[in-house]
Amino acid sequence: MQHLLAQNFGQITAPSALQGYGTDPGSAIGKLIQTIIWLLIIGAGLFALFNFILAGYSFLSASDDSKKVAGAWSMIWQSALGLAVAAGAFVLAAIFGQLIFGDPTFILNPKIPTL
């Protein structure tokens, strides 16, 4: 089918900015999904770091007010829990990738088959 299309319509070359993604559309979509996943994980890490800094500042400025100290500890605990969930997502992705696809990196580095 692809040969027939290429014969009738010619070959379309990818723009130079996309040459690093290869010519297979499935690998390009897979790399896009991979990039989105990594950006979400990096965003979660930066958000947790920002929350840790804010919680530390709140904790230091709370002095003897027990409500402010409890609020700061709550922020620290929630940030640590969110960071653990983000890190646990990697472990779960590897486990499910191994069980379902036989490759622990399949979900984090998807290769989508195309025609």
pLDDT, tens digit (0-9, with 9 covering 90-100), for 5-49:
556 666 666 667 666 666 666 667 777 777 888 898 889 889 999
Position with higher pLDDT, 96 vs 14? 96
**107: how many CB neighbours lie within 10 A of its CB?**
21
Please state the pTM of the whole predicted model.
Answer: 0.64
SS3 per residue for 64-81? CCHHHHHHHHHHHHHHHH
Rounded to a whole number of angstroms, the distance between the first and last alpha carbons of the chain is 9
Distance between CA atoms of residues 76 and 70, nearest Å: 10
- The CA-based diameter of the chain, rounded to the nearest angstrom, is 79
Whose tokens are 């559309």? That residue is 25
Q: Which two tokens stand for residue 36?
A: 């989105």
3-class SS of residue 102: coil
